């Protein structure tokens, strides 16, 4: 029986170590690409599985479901969705600078539509993938490791013959870190790689003479060229990208702004958002120039057309699109990759260096492997040639031997005992044989047709080629210059066959300046119904329908078209909304939820007061909380630029129950949940700053809270209903602040 051993350890240490192990597993085995081949494990395994299944570029497509299932079963024991998503992205030419998989079927589009289910789509390797990432796997150029259940072998890294990490870029989120590498032009990456091979001390600035900057599949214009050197030296920064815009002349003298290329970050659902944002500019009266918007994009490319009114300022409108929409966007660069088994933020030079060192390592292993094969071939060829020169004696040995072993021993060691010879001279000559083991086997397996004269000549020519190959391979392995030239020649071939033209323009562009046309300031009426839908109407409409407006809406007050609306809530927050953000509509128009144009959340907050900034600037505001804290604040303090600020400070467990603008009211009445009423002059409440918590207005019982606040004039008769009993507030005795008040019996 095994004796139990209890190991005592600190719980926090176990948690810390477990979390670190988990984090490193996600970082290295899931989320981040390897600097050598630019692939994440799921991408590498998918490509290798397709290679093993024989789904080559010159063979028929195979179902994606077959590829995903085989990859999951052999190499990647995770969800099939993650494998299929990786496969889909590797087919999309609008995401990858150089797609690695040739997809057949619906693999999604640039506007964000997802790919069809894996059972409907088919795929095969691209030619460039097969020739540049998988071609030398049979030459022992990379290490293999056991798969998850040790029933298969998989490559640790694919033999990438160019810096794929730069060509296709990468995006991934790990634990506590993320990578974001833009795609680049294959031709430029190859030229930069060649430059590094020729001069390993080359600087980033010199490398960028060959690699100008990112080359996004969607084209566009990089506007901060001068900042790219810093980004590529540090591996971190922001690349500003604009869409490509042209102006066409339309009918009736109208002009059309046509967007033919979009910023790379806009691909997907952001195209729809861009169209919505442009429409919102017109709805919110930011511009009055738009006549029509249409998305005419197709398989041929992006084409978004915005038709403008006559005499519209096209340049100013385009600048407005850059400033107000995602037509100008930023691509956050963080060139994080796995280098020597650990995550590292790498510069452009470091990424190229990692791949070049990897290429030299692969070349050394490749040509060592080829040299060994050629040396073995030479050995056999030399044996066959020697054997052909004495073929009659060899045949005599074979005919005189009792078995294969006897003949082989004679060929390798010259042992002639037991072999019948025609003459003693033949026996003496046979005893001088000294073929190697491999030569002897080749002689024994040689077919008679090899003795034909033409076959002998072919053998001699083949031997000469073998000697030339040996000389070449030994030279490549002995001299780094020779190996460098071989790698450069391979890169030139790949550039010639697979490189395309640059799509993204690199330039220094001036910041877009948009002059917003000043709209004429007019007087409007703000309306918000009990459901939270807000709008503005003109004063004429209000005057004609005054009774209807007041009866159907919770808040009604005048405001300026250029002003702001202020929303006070029970959480002590002040939310501001530009009047121009609200729709100017007709009386029966529904309006827009106030949540949509402000940071106010109807699910978490309750509106106590809505008024205009102009109104606040003229008066003071009184705040009363459930725990009976109160203060008066000058309304000018709420003239703020932020959309949300704290209007008052609250104690723990407290909330605002009343916000009121002080105009002509003189007295205040507090009513609590337990039925206590306290009436005292408003002048007893001190004026404080909005950041203050205030003073106590009323002494409360342990469980009691202020529920209602009434503001009255000293001369008016004010009657309220409390628990079905009328209470005259005017007849309440005027008390002092911070007293208990009077209990009303019901």
pLDDT, one tens digit per residue, over 524-538 is 999 999 899 999 999
For the chain, the domain total comes to 4
Residue 253 has pLDDT above 80, yes or no: no
Residue 1 has pLDDT above 60, yes or no: no
Fill in the DSSP letter of residue 74: H
**DSSP letters for 665-685:** --EEEEEETTSEEEEEEGGGS
CATH code assigned at 70: 3.90.199.10
CATH code assigned at 362: 1.10.268.10
Fill in the DSSP letter of residue 29: I
Say what the pLDDT of residue 231 is. 96
Residues 562, 445, single domain; the answer is no
Among 99-103, 275-279, 590-594, the range with the most confident prediction by mean pLDDT is 99-103
CA distances, 7 to each of 4, 15, 20, 329 (Å)? 10, 15, 21, 56
Q: Provide mean pLDDT across the span 358-370.
A: 94
Among 455-464, 506-515, 655-664, the range with the most confident prediction by mean pLDDT is 655-664
What does the block give as tokens for 248? 């066409």
Mean pLDDT of the chain: 89
Say what the pLDDT of residue 684 is. 92
What does the block give as tokens for 366? 């490749």
Say what the pLDDT of residue 446 is. 81
Fill in the DSSP letter of residue 545: T
Fill in the DSSP letter of residue 265: G
pLDDT digits (tens, 9 = 90+) for 166-202: 999 999 887 778 899 999 999 999 999 999 999 999 9
Beta strands in 585-732 (DSSP E): 592-593, 607-612, 620-625, 629-634, 644-646, 656-662, 667-672, 676-681, 695-696, 706-712, 719-722, 725-728
User: What is the torsional sign of CA 135, 140, 145, 151?
Assistant: positive
CA distances, 667 to each of 414, 616, 681, 722 (Å)? 130, 20, 4, 19
CA distance 575 to 643: 6
Residues 261, 358, single domain; the answer is no
Q: What 3-state class would DSSP assign to 264? A: helix
Residue given tokens 């691209």 in the structure block:
126
What does the block give as tokens for 135? 């071609």
Helices (H) and strands (E) in the chain, counts: 21, 35
- The answer to the question of residue 687 being in a domain is yes
Residues 605, 713, single domain; the answer is yes
Lowest mean pLDDT among 276-285, 314-323, 446-455, 731-740: 446-455
Task: Answer yes or no: are the C-beta atoms of 675 and 744 closer than 8 Å.
Answer: yes
Residue 345 has pLDDT above 90, yes or no: yes
Residues 265, 366, single domain; the answer is no
- Confidence band for 2, pLDDT divided at 50, 70 and 90: low
Say what the pLDDT of residue 29 is. 60
Task: Answer yes or no: are the C-beta atoms of 210 and 192 closer than 8 Å.
Answer: yes
User: Closest by alpha carbon to 29, among 129, 236, 172?
Assistant: 172
User: Closest by alpha carbon to 212, among 501, 636, 582?
Assistant: 501
CA distances, 125 to each of 129, 166, 202, 368 (Å)? 6, 20, 35, 28
- Confidence band for 21, pLDDT divided at 50, 70 and 90: low
Q: Which of 138, 160, 182 is the last residue of a domain?
A: 160
Residues 665, 565, single domain; the answer is yes
Residues 445, 399, single domain; the answer is yes
What does the block give as tokens for 695? 């003073």
* Of 141 and 516, more confident: 141
Cβ atoms within 10 Å, residue 358: 21
Q: What 3-state class would DSSP assign to 345? A: strand
Task: Answer yes or no: are the C-beta atoms of 328 and 243 closer than 8 Å.
Answer: yes
Q: Provide mean pLDDT across the span 538-564.
A: 91
* Of 687 and 453, more confident: 687
List phi, psi (to 5°) of 320.
-65, -40
- The answer to the question of residue 342 being in a domain is no
Task: Answer yes or no: are the C-beta atoms of 706 and 672 closer than 8 Å.
Answer: yes
What does the block give as tokens for 607? 């509106």
Q: Which of 95, 128, 160 is the last residue of a domain?
A: 160
CA distances, 375 to each of 440, 444, 475 (Å)? 16, 20, 14
- The answer to the question of residue 24 being in a domain is no
Among 24-33, 202-211, 502-511, the range with the most confident prediction by mean pLDDT is 202-211
- The answer to the question of residue 86 being in a domain is yes
Taking the CA of residue 558 as centre, how many other CA atoms within 13 Å lie in the half-sphere pointing to its CB? 11
- The answer to the question of residue 688 being in a domain is yes
Per the DSSP assignment, residues forming a β-bridge with 55 are none
Residues 489, 531, single domain; the answer is no
Residues 723, 628, single domain; the answer is yes
Q: What 3-state class would DSSP assign to 647? A: coil
Say what the pLDDT of residue 25 is. 63
Residue 7 has pLDDT above 70, yes or no: yes
Say what the pLDDT of residue 499 is. 92
CA distance 343 to 337: 5
Residues 313, 393, single domain; the answer is no
Residues 155, 252, single domain; the answer is no
Largest CA distance in the chain: 151
Say what the pLDDT of residue 252 is. 77
CA distance 263 to 114: 20
Considering just the CA atoms, what is the radius of gyration of the chain in Å?
41
SS3 per-residue string spanning 546-603: HHHHHHHCCEEEEEECCCEEEEEECCCEEEEEEHHHCCECCCCCCCEEHHHHCCCCCC
Residue 641 has pLDDT above 90, yes or no: no
CA distance 699 to 307: 66
247 sits in which H/E element: strand 244-249
CA distance 170 to 182: 7
- The answer to the question of residue 167 being in a domain is no
- The answer to the question of residue 222 being in a domain is no
CATH code assigned at 268: 3.30.1360.40
pLDDT digits (tens, 9 = 90+) for 56-113: 999 999 999 999 999 999 999 888 999 999 999 999 999 998 999 999 999 999 988 8
Say what the pLDDT of residue 27 is. 64
CA distance 384 to 374: 15
* Of 658 and 715, more confident: 658
List phi, psi (to 5°) of 242.
-115, 155
Domain hosting residue 274, numbered range: 244-326
- Confidence band for 28, pLDDT divided at 50, 70 and 90: low
CA distance 683 to 680: 9
Cβ atoms within 10 Å, residue 464: 11
Say what the pLDDT of residue 406 is. 87
Residues 405, 307, single domain; the answer is no
Residue 204 has pLDDT above 80, yes or no: yes
CA distance 351 to 204: 11
Per the DSSP assignment, residues forming a β-bridge with 727 are 720
Residues 547, 680, single domain; the answer is yes
Say what the pLDDT of residue 78 is. 86
- Confidence band for 205, pLDDT divided at 50, 70 and 90: very high
Say what the pLDDT of residue 518 is. 60
Distance, CA of 689 to chain centre: 45
Say what the pLDDT of residue 504 is. 95
What percent of the chain has a predicted confidence (pLDDT) above 70? 96
- The answer to the question of residue 514 being in a domain is no
Residues with active-site annotation: 120
Say what the pLDDT of residue 241 is. 95
Length of the chain: 746
Q: Which of 116, 141, 160 is the last residue of a domain?
A: 160
């Amino acid at each position: 029986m095994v004796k139990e051993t209890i190991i005592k350890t600190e719980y926090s240490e176990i948690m810390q170590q477990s979390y670190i192990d988990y984090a490193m597993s996600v970082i290295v085995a899931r989320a981040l690409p390897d600097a050598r081949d630019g692939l994440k494990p799921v991408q590498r395994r998918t490509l290798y599985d397709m290679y093993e299944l024989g789904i080559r570029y010159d063979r028929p497509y195979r179902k994606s479901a077959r590829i995903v299932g085989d990859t999951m079963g052999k190499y990647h024991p995770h969800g099939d969705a993650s494998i299929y998503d990786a496969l889909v992205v590797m087919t999309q030419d609008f995401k990858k600078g150089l797609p690695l998989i040739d997809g057949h079927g619906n693999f999604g589009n640039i506007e964000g539509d997802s790919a069809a289910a894996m059972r409907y789509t088919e795929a095969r390797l691209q030619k460039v993938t097969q020739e540049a990432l998988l071609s030398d796997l049979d030459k022992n150029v990379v290490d293999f490791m056991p798969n998850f259940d040790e029933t298969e072998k998989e490559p640790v890294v694919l033999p990438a013959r160019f810096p794929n990490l730069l060509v296709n870029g990468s995006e991934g989120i790990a634990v506590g870190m993320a990578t974001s590498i833009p795609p680049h032009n294959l031709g430029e990456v190859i030229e930069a790689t060649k430059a590094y091979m020729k001069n390993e001390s080359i600087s980033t600035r010199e490398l960028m003479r060959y690699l100008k900057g990112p080359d996004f599949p969607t084209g566009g214009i990089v506007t901060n060229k001068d900042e790219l050197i810093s980004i590529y030296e540090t591996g971190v920064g922001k690349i500003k990208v604009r869409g490509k815009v042209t102006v066409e002349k339309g009918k009736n003298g109208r002009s059309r702004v046509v967007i033919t290329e979009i910023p790379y970050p806009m691909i997907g659902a952001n195209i729809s958002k861009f169209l919505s944002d442009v429409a919102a500019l017109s709805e919110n009266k930011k511009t009055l120039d738009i006549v029509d918007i249409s998305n005419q994009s197709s398989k041929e490319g992006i084409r978004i057309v915005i038709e403008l009114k006559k005499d519209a300022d096209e340049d100013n409108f385009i600048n407005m699109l850059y400033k107000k929409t995602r037509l100008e966007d930023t691509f956050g660069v963080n060139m994080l990759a796995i280098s020597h088994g650990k995550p590292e933020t790498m510069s452009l030079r470091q990424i190229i260096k990692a791949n070049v060192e990897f290429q030299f390592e692969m070349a050394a292993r490749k040509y060592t492997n080829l040299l060994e094969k050629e040396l073995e071939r030479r050995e056999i060829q030399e044996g066959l040639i020697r054997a052909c020169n004495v073929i009659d004696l060899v045949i005599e040995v074979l005919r005189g031997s009792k078995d294969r072993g006897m003949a082989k021993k004679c060929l390798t060691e010259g042992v002639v005992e037991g072999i019948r010879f025609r003459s003693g001279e033949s026996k003496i000559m046979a005893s001088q044989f000294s073929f190697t083991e491999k030569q002897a086997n080749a002689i024994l397996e040689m077919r008679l047709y090899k003795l034909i004269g033409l076959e002998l000549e072919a053998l001699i020519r083949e031997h000469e080629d073998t000697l030339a190959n040996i000389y070449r391979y030994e030279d490549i392995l002995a001299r780094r210059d020779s190996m460098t030239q071989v790698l450069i020649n391979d890169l030139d071939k790949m550039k010639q066959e697979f490189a395309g033209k640059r799509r993204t323009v690199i330039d220094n562009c001036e910041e877009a300046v948009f002059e917003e046309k000043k709209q004429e300031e007019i007087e409007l009426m703000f309306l918000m119904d009990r459901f939270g839908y807000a709008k503005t109407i003109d004063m004429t409409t209000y005057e004609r329908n005054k009774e209807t407006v007041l009866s159907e809406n919770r808040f009604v007050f005048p405001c300026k078209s250029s002003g702001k609306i202020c929303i006070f809530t029970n959480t002590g927050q002040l939310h501001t909304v530009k009047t121009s953000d609200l729709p100017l509509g007709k009386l029966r128009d529904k309006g827009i939820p106030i949540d949509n144009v402000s940071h106010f959340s109807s699910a978490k907050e309750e509106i106590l007061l809505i008024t205009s900034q102009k109104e606040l600037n003229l008066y003071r505001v009184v705040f009363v909380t459930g725990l009976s804290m109160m203060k008066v604040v000058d309304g000018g303090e709420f003239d703020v630029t932020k959309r949300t600020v704290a209007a008052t400070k609250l104690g723990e467990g407290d909330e605002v129950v009343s916000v009121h603008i002080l105009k002509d009211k003189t007295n205040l009445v507090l009513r609590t949940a337990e039925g206590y009423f306290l009436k005292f002059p408003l002048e007893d409440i001190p004026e404080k700053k909005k950041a203050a918590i205030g003073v106590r207005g009323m002494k409360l019982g342990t469980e009691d809270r202020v529920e209602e606040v009434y503001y009255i004039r000293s001369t008016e008769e004010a009657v309220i209903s409390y628990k079905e009993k009328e209470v005259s507030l005017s007849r309440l005795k005027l008390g002092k602040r911070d007293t208990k008040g009077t209990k009303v019996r019901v």
